[in-house]
Amino acid sequence: MTDNIKTLCPYCGVGCGLEVSPPAAPGKAANQDSLKTPIWKVKGDRAHPSSKGMVCVKGATITESIDCDRLHYPMVRESLNQPFRRASWDETLDLVASRLKSVYEKSGGDAVCMYGSGQMQTEDYYVAQKLLKGCLGTNNFDSNSRLCMSSAVAGYVQSLGSDGPPCCYDDLELTDCAFIIGANAAECHPIVFNRLQKHHKRNPHVKLIVVDPRCTPTAEVADLHLAIAPGTDIDLLNSIAYLLLRWGEIDKGFIDECTSRFSDFAAAVQHYSPQKVAKRCGISAADIELAARYWSKSKRVLSLWSQGVNQSSEGTAKVCSLINLHLLTGQIGKPGSGPFSLTGQPNAMGGREVGGLAHLLPGYRSVSNERHRHDLEQFWQLPPGQIKPYPGRTAWDIITGLETGEVQFLWVVATNPAVSLPDLERVKAALWRSPFTICQDAYYPTETTAYAHVLLPAAQWGEKTGIMTNSERVVTLCSAFRPPVGEAKADWDIMAQVAKRLGFGDKFAFTSSAQVYDEFVQLTRDRPCDMTGLSHEKLLTEGAIQWPCPDKGNISPKRLYTDLRFPTADGRAKFTSCHSRGLAEPPDPEYPFVLTTGRLYGHWHTQTRTGRIDKIKQMHPEPFIEIHPRDARKLGIADNEWVEVRSRRGVAQFPAKITKAIAPNTVFVPMHWGYLWAEKSEANALTHPISCPDSLQPELKACAVQIVSLVVKTADYSSVSLSQVHP
């Protein structure tokens, strides 16, 4: 392996370029520290167009986790009550293939499910789609992107005709007004936020509006923080539209030439005067007017959103409501403006391109579209009708399928559903019932490996070469810089070897990930995400490249829709009239608080990597619950005292952090802690699985809870913890 390998940070969807170099060889004067496993050096890649050398703490410490608690070789067991035993790859792959074959022959392809992740590289995703949706004839491939940004996908498709964020990061430095809704970018997308914040500081005319029930580090630096009540986003967005219409601050020419269904929309928002909406949202009418004023007075408005919008039982409607504002004001397809979804996972975008959700096919195609299925059947040389015309099981449907016994073979790749799915006790019970579960992961243990019959060791970031796409459609080759640990293999290679054992060898004769990628990009020809001009070799020699990047023609990829034509039947973007139904589980006298969940700056997802990095553990040593001082007073809770949080589904316990950062009647818990990292601290023990009807993304951001102090007040009012009373 050579010096200074260029790659991409494998954490969030910002997709910062990294340069990795080998650890220094221990010198003669080896001290205790130098005898530890040497750590690869990492720094930001100044040449990467998205990050220009910047990294956050996660990217800067990534190499510290690559040797910790790795899964080195395949392991198997007959039942979950037994210990694992080491097995050879041949024995394990034979077992996997024979089990899959017998389920397929007995119950059909739809009894087989794979649950993947935005950590997978594009090549891993592609081989999985070809195996499941193509050869096995089941669309039961879903990924944890379902929990993250499937509402953004559905919203883009409904409003603009296709998925694909139309903006680029340069717009962060070109905008006059950034409207951040449901995103704590300062902590969750730090380098995007750095770029925006620098622009905001340097240009006093630039306005920053943040919509969030919490006063997050993002909201702290905003010109206007709208701390709306959870679930009232659509009311707010419609009210801004109401004002823009009333003031005539709309782009009539754009509306007439480039959009449809405007009059329905204009009629629908007539019911959203700020005076009516303010009370529901829990903010003042004046603040709604100020937000509308900032929007209307800005030449270029960029909106940014993430899980706070997407993880909702009306996530798609929220996305469409936001896009409506851009259509109303013509703020799309030009520098510094547009609706910009920030993706969570490093390759969530790649997963979308390659069809990595249960209703999608590669190349931004859909399983429900006959022509799209036909394209794939021809390309994969499969018989007509092989690809099913209905969506496969989503993340939550996999769980209900385990409950009913319809799912008999579950293959989990690079994700940790035993922490990240909602209603965790139900999830764990379903996983326990699973007749056969594979966990294919780089790390062991994870909370999910406790439910596996087979563990397949995956090569991780840095040990395999593959492609990832970030939020601004920039495609980066992530080059391997060291061999896989133990017997670990690339995910695509493991799946291809199973496919060969199932008799599909001719379709999986790849000898490198570059070959897999070359095959995939052919499926993007003339699609919105055309990448036919890309290859591993080109990306290695030229660096990261943005799509669309066809092999013919001259396309400027920075922004989509610069010609103001949209990939809909009539070429027009579509207004969508949306009305809020509110939270799926609103608070009530028994469960009077709204629990909202989120992320912290240092940690990533379920801590599989970041929980193993000392610096990050010190930053965020334990979970907590944020409670407003007014609520804390009512509950008799002091700062740092332990409380029990109960929902209709489960309980969890946290020390209280009393802060005005959270609105009254709302509490906040970070989602990073599973049972391996802290006892009874799982945010998702409390959440519910009710989902958006369009995107099928669960409402992980809000559920009703009650809070009980775990401190027993004695007669003299001194505090004694429960653990002292009930050891």
| Whether 603 contacts 624, CB under 8 Å | no
Q: Which residue has the tokens 């909370």?
A: 447
Stretch of residues binding ligand SF4 (CB under 6 A), selected from 12-20, 145-153, 360-368, 546-554: 12-20
CA distance 480 to 484: 9
The footprint of ligand SF4 on this chain (CB under 6 A) covers a number of residues equal to: 13
Q: Binding residue for ligand SF4 (CB under 6 A) from 6, 7, 12, 156?
A: 12
Which 600-629 residues touch ligand SF4, going by CB under 6 A? none
Q: Binding residue for ligand SF4 (CB under 6 A) from 56, 474, 539, 683?
A: 56
Instruction: Read off the tokens for 81.
Output: 């009550």
Stretch of residues binding ligand SF4 (CB under 6 A), selected from 4-12, 555-563, 585-593, 644-652: 4-12
Least distance in Å: CB of 186 to ligand SF4? 11
CA distance 186 to 274: 29
59 makes contact with ligand SF4 (CB under 6 A): yes
9 makes contact with ligand SF4 (CB under 6 A): yes
Closer by beta carbon to ligand SF4, 61 or else 408: 61
355 makes contact with ligand SF4 (CB under 6 A): no
| Whether 398 contacts 421, CB under 8 Å | no
Closer by beta carbon to ligand SF4, 56 or else 208: 56
Least distance in Å: CB of 50 to ligand SF4? 8
Stretch of residues binding ligand SF4 (CB under 6 A), selected from 56-64, 293-301, 324-332, 482-490: 56-64
Closer by beta carbon to ligand SF4, 191 or else 229: 191
Question: Hey, how many other C-beta atoms are within 10 angstroms of the C-beta on 369?
Answer: 12
Stretch of residues binding ligand SF4 (CB under 6 A), selected from 55-63, 94-102, 266-274, 595-603: 55-63
Closer by beta carbon to ligand SF4, 59 or else 274: 59
Closer by beta carbon to ligand SF4, 114 or else 191: 191
- State the alpha helices, DSSP H only, in 223-344: 233-247, 252-258, 262-268, 274-281, 285-297, 307-310, 315-329
- Cβ neighbourhood burial of 220 (10 Å; 0-12, 13-18, 19+): exposed
Closer by beta carbon to ligand SF4, 145 or else 449: 145
The beta-strand segments (E) located in 306-445 are 338-341, 360-361, 365-366, 409-413, 437-441
16 makes contact with ligand SF4 (CB under 6 A): yes
Stretch of residues binding ligand SF4 (CB under 6 A), selected from 5-13, 124-132, 244-252, 586-594: 5-13
HSE of 329, CA atoms in CB hemisphere, 13 A: 31
Q: In a 3-state reduction of DSSP, which class is residue 687?
A: coil
**Does the N-terminal peptide bond of residue 435 adopt cis geometry, omega within 30 degrees of 0?**
no
| Whether 178 contacts 208, CB under 8 Å | yes
| Whether 338 contacts 175, CB under 8 Å | no
Question: Hey, how many other C-beta atoms are within 10 angstroms of the C-beta on 568?
Answer: 17
CA distance 578 to 461: 41
169 makes contact with ligand SF4 (CB under 6 A): no
Closer by beta carbon to ligand SF4, 302 or else 705: 302
HSE of 612, CA atoms in CB hemisphere, 13 A: 16
Q: Exposed e or buried b for every residue in 291-323, given b needs 16+ CB within 10 A? A: bbbbbbebebbbbbbbbbbbbbbbbbbbbbbbb
Least distance in Å: CB of 59 to ligand SF4? 3
Least distance in Å: CB of 8 to ligand SF4? 7
Q: Which residue has the tokens 């929309």?
A: 265
CA distance 304 to 622: 29
Question: Hey, how many other C-beta atoms are within 10 angstroms of the C-beta on 73?
Answer: 16
Question: Which residues touch 625 (CB under 8 Å, ≥6 apart)?
Answer: 643, 645, 654, 655, 656, 657, 667, 668, 669, 707
Q: Binding residue for ligand SF4 (CB under 6 A) from 5, 20, 42, 55?
A: 55
CA distance 72 to 64: 17
Least distance in Å: CB of 344 to ligand SF4? 10
Closer by beta carbon to ligand SF4, 15 or else 356: 15
Closer by beta carbon to ligand SF4, 140 or else 610: 610
**Sheet of 474-478, strand order:** 466-469, 474-478, 545-546
Closer by beta carbon to ligand SF4, 55 or else 573: 55
320 makes contact with ligand SF4 (CB under 6 A): no
Stretch of residues binding ligand SF4 (CB under 6 A), selected from 49-57, 254-262, 362-370, 567-575: 49-57
CA distance 6 to 47: 10
Which 189-228 residues touch ligand SF4, going by CB under 6 A? 190-191
Closer by beta carbon to ligand SF4, 39 or else 97: 39
Q: Exposed e or buried b for every residue in 695-725, given b needs 16+ CB within 10 A? A: bbbbbbbbbbbbbebbbeeeeeeeeeeeeee
- Residue whose CB is nearest to ligand SF4 in the complex, by number: 59
Least distance in Å: CB of 127 to ligand SF4? 25
- Say what the alpha-carbon torsion angle 34, 36, 40, 43 is, to the nearest 10 degrees: -70
Q: Binding residue for ligand SF4 (CB under 6 A) from 6, 48, 58, 195?
A: 58
Least distance in Å: CB of 197 to ligand SF4? 13
Q: Binding residue for ligand SF4 (CB under 6 A) from 5, 6, 15, 597?
A: 15
Least distance in Å: CB of 461 to ligand SF4? 11
Stretch of residues binding ligand SF4 (CB under 6 A), selected from 13-21, 75-83, 119-127, 582-590: 13-21
Q: Exposed e or buried b for every residue in 241-256, given b needs 16+ CB within 10 A? A: bbbbbeeeebbeebbe
Closer by beta carbon to ligand SF4, 60 or else 285: 60
118 makes contact with ligand SF4 (CB under 6 A): no
CA distance 683 to 636: 22
Closer by beta carbon to ligand SF4, 16 or else 292: 16
Least distance in Å: CB of 55 to ligand SF4? 4
Least distance in Å: CB of 201 to ligand SF4? 19
Question: Which residues touch 30 (CB under 8 Å, ≥6 apart)?
Answer: none
Least distance in Å: CB of 19 to ligand SF4? 12
Element (H or E) spanning 75, and its range? Answer: strand 75-76
- Say what the alpha-carbon torsion angle 246, 327, 222, 629 is, to the nearest 10 degrees: 80
Closer by beta carbon to ligand SF4, 11 or else 305: 11
Closer by beta carbon to ligand SF4, 68 or else 286: 68
- Which x/- pattern over 284-303 shows residues binding ligand SF4 (rule: CB under 6 A)? --------------------
CA distance 560 to 332: 9
Least distance in Å: CB of 522 to ligand SF4? 29
Stretch of residues binding ligand SF4 (CB under 6 A), selected from 9-17, 494-502, 619-627, 707-715: 9-17
Closer by beta carbon to ligand SF4, 117 or else 313: 117
Q: Binding residue for ligand SF4 (CB under 6 A) from 6, 7, 14, 419?
A: 14
Which residues sit at the interface with ligand SF4, rule CB under 6 A?
Answer: 9, 11-12, 14-16, 51, 55-56, 58-59, 190-191
